[in-house]
Each structure stands twice: as C-alpha cells, then as structure tokens.
C-alpha cells in the first residue's frame, strides 16, 4: 500500500485528544501498520486540500463533509463509531429533521459503515435497509488484559468510571450508586467507593449528594487519572460498578472485565452482547437493587474468582487487537484502488 494516503478525520476541538482516547489511537496505529500514510485532521478545510486515497471518519455527525470530499475526488469513504440509534436520551430520532438528513446521507452513501457494537448493527438493520453495514468491535489493549496468575487479590473498594457531565452520570447511574452505598454503609465496613473520570457540570451535584447522605468517608472523586492508574484500580477493585440505562458498547466495562474485575451492570442495550453473562446484573436501576447486588457479590468470593477468569478469557478471544486490525484490513482492501 505504498504511497496510499488515508485521511483520518474526527471533528473534535483538540486534536491532541487522539493520543489519549484508545479507540482513536488504535485505529491510527492499525492504518499505519497496514502500510498507509495516515494524515490526521479535525479541520473540514483539510478534507479538500489534499487528494486522498481513502477517507476514514469517526462518527456520522459531521460525515457529510468527508462524503462531499470523497465524491469530488472519487475516492472511498469509511465511517465508524457508535450511532446511538436506540439511545433513549440522545438518539438519532430525537434530532431535528435537518440533522437527521445530514447524518443519514453519509450513512447511505459511504462505501462502508463500521459499527463497533453487534447490538448496534442489529438495531441499525431494523431501521435502515442498506447493504454497507459492517461490524468490527472495539478492542482492548493487551495491557488491560490481566496476565497475572493467580489473579491479583481484591482490595476493599468499588470502582466506577464515568465522565461527570449531568446527562452522562445519570445514564451511568452514578447518583443511584451513591445512594445505594448510603443504604448499606453500615454493612460495608472498610469499603470505599472510588469514582474516576473527567469532571463535568455534574460534579458539584454529586459532591452535594455525598455530603447530604453523610458518606464523605466512603466516596472518593478522583477526577481524571492516568491510564496506568486506571488499569491498576480495575485490577484491584472488588466490584466495577456500572449500572446503566444505555450503552452503545460499554468499553469501560469490557476494560474492567479484561483486568479481572467483576462487573455489576444492567442487562440492556449492548451490555449482554459485549459481556454476555459475565456481569452481576441488577434487576433494575434503583438504589435498593444496586445495594442488594453489591452485598450479594462481596459475600460470594467464588463468584468473584470465577467471573474474573472468564472475563479475561472472553476479552482475549473476542476483543483482541488483531480482531480489529484484520477486520479493517479486509474492508479497506475491498474498496481502495
């Protein structure tokens, strides 16, 4: 593929973020390993300045511009990401008519759409009768896959990972989990609840909730942490707590499971497609049910050990780096000239 140029386009404010977000960095690395010259941009004007051999785009939201460039230059277009077709809070169908047209047009006319979730592929086929749909999952870096034998002893803390923006923390039930911790605080003894993730406009509400519930000694907000620290926390936590109202994939849960953590979640959207029966599933997203699930899990050490091992093996089998590399290789070689 010598001299073949790929435009890697994602519409974000700060292009430096690409190095910190695994799924962007992984695809860039894969394209380079396949022998292509990868030109990275977040600027619409750059789409038209150079004649590329392929446009590789993350997200459909701004894909209309790469589509126009690909038509003008008569070169193929690939779009990947999560479409959120069934997201009850921010779905495609909740957008304005104009927005839906701008998103649907590249979906229809791209050479390939690659969904990172099997669940989304199934849902998309219910809404659109297009023949350019493909599935290549998100992947987990080997550093997340616990190589330790035996599995590291668990420490007395629970972990959640979430951007603490209001809509996002509510979707991931962070507030409900805090209330669950308050319900069983007398039974948790030395346990702590650690919340990791970039602060957003919801952090003050959550801090106030913790204070009102008088559990400041149990809940810790760590903010953004290094990837190394996040992995270490995932390996050592007693439970990775992630009940949810919707997941297009659930990458943090997969990463935690790969690290040997027992995941507590909700059996909806993409979660069972990615993790199957590995999580401890709460019956519903209420503080009472989340609290019950926490107590039943920490009292059963055999479940913790068994699910930890199964999670590591499932990650290696289905979500390895080679899975996405080979998948992208096959699709690109079919459409690039």
Between residues 314 and 153, the one the model is more confident about:
314
Could you tell me if 66 and 104 are in contact, meaning their C-beta atoms sit under 8 angstroms apart? no
Confidence of residue 302 (pLDDT cuts 50, 70, 90): confident
Tens digits of residue pLDDT in 233-249? 999 999 999 999 999 89
Q: Say whether both 15 and 26 belong to one domain.
A: yes
Tens digits of residue pLDDT in 141-166? 888 876 655 566 789 999 999 999 99
Q: Say whether both 191 and 246 belong to one domain.
A: yes
Q: Say whether both 101 and 189 belong to one domain.
A: no
Q: Say whether both 268 and 330 belong to one domain.
A: no
> How many independent structural domains does the chain possess?
2
Between residues 203 and 189, the one the model is more confident about:
203
Q: Say whether both 73 and 47 belong to one domain.
A: yes
- 260, pLDDT greater than 70: yes
- 24, pLDDT greater than 60: yes
| CA dist., res. 267 & res. 45, Å (int) | 43
Q: Say whether both 128 and 273 belong to one domain.
A: no
| DSSP assignment letter at 105 | H
Q: Say whether both 306 and 327 belong to one domain.
A: no
Could you tell me if 312 and 131 are in contact, meaning their C-beta atoms sit under 8 angstroms apart? no
- 20, pLDDT greater than 80: no
| CA dist., res. 46 & res. 40, Å (int) | 9
Where is average pLDDT lowest: 102-116, 143-157, 311-325?
143-157
Tens digits of residue pLDDT in 202-217? 999 999 999 999 999 9
Q: Say whether both 304 and 156 belong to one domain.
A: yes
Q: Say whether both 176 and 120 belong to one domain.
A: no
| CA dist., res. 163 & res. 152, Å (int) | 27
pTM of the model: 0.88
| CA dist., res. 25 & res. 22, Å (int) | 5
DSSP string for residues in 254-310: HHHHHTTPPEEEES-TTHHHHHTT-SEEESSSSHHHHHHHHHHHHT-HHHHHHHHHH
Q: Say whether both 85 and 160 belong to one domain.
A: no
Could you tell me if 201 and 315 are in contact, meaning their C-beta atoms sit under 8 angstroms apart? no
Instruction: For the chain, list the strands marked E by DSSP.
Output: 5-9, 37-41, 54-58, 77-81, 112-115, 133-135, 157-161, 192-196, 219-223, 239-242, 263-266, 280-282
**Is the N-terminal amide bond of 150 cis, ω within 30° of 0?**
yes
Q: What range defines the domain where residue 260 resides?
A: 143-319
Q: Say whether both 104 and 163 belong to one domain.
A: no
Q: How many helices (H) and strands (E) does the chain have?
A: 14, 12
Q: Say whether both 157 and 122 belong to one domain.
A: no
Cβ atoms within 10 Å of 86's Cβ, excluding its own: 20
Provide the CATH number for the domain around residue 153.
Answer: 3.40.50.2000
Could you tell me if 154 and 238 are in contact, meaning their C-beta atoms sit under 8 angstroms apart? yes
| DSSP assignment letter at 132 | -
């Amino acid at each position: 593929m010598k001299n073949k140029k790929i435009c890697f386009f994602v519409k974000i404010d700060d292009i430096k973020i690409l190095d910190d977000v695994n799924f962007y960095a992984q695809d860039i690395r894969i394209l380079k390993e396949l022998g292509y010259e990868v030109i990275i941009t977040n600027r619409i004007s750059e789409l038209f300045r150079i004649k590329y051999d392929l446009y590789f785009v993350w997200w459909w939201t701004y894909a209309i511009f790469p589509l126009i460039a690909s038509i003008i230059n008569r070169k193929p277009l690939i779009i990947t990401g999560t479409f959120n077709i069934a997201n009850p809070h921010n779905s495609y169908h909740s957008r304005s008519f104009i927005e839906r047209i701008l998103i649907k047009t590249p979906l229809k006319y791209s050479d390939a759409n690659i969904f990172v979730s099997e669940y989304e592929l199934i849902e998309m086929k219910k809404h659109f009768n297009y023949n350019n749909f493909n599935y290549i999952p998100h992947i987990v870096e080997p550093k997340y896959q616990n190589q330790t034998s035996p599995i590291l002893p668990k420490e007395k803390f629970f972990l959640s990972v979430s951007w603490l923006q209001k809509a996002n923390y509510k979707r991931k039930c962070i507030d409900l989990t805090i209330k669950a911790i308050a319900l069983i605080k007398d039974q948790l003894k030395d346990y702590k609840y650690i919340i990791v993730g970039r602060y957003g406009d919801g952090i003050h509400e959550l801090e106030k909730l913790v204070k009102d519930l008088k559990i400041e000694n149990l809940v810790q907000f760590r903010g953004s942490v290094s990837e190394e620290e996040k992995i270490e926390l995932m390996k050592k936590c007693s439970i990775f707590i992630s009940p949810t109202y919707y997941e297009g994939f659930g990458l943090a849960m997969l990463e935690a499971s790969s690290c040997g953590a027992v995941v507590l979640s909700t059996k909806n959207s993409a979660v069972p497609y990615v993790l199957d029966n590995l999580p401890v599933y709460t019956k519903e997203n209420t503080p009472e049910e989340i609290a019950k699930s926490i107590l039943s899990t920490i009292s059963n050490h055999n479940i913790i050990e068994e699910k930890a091992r199964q999670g590591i093996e499932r990650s290696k089998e289905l979500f390895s780096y080679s899975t996405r590399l080979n998948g992208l290789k096959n699709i690109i070689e079919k459409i690039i000239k």
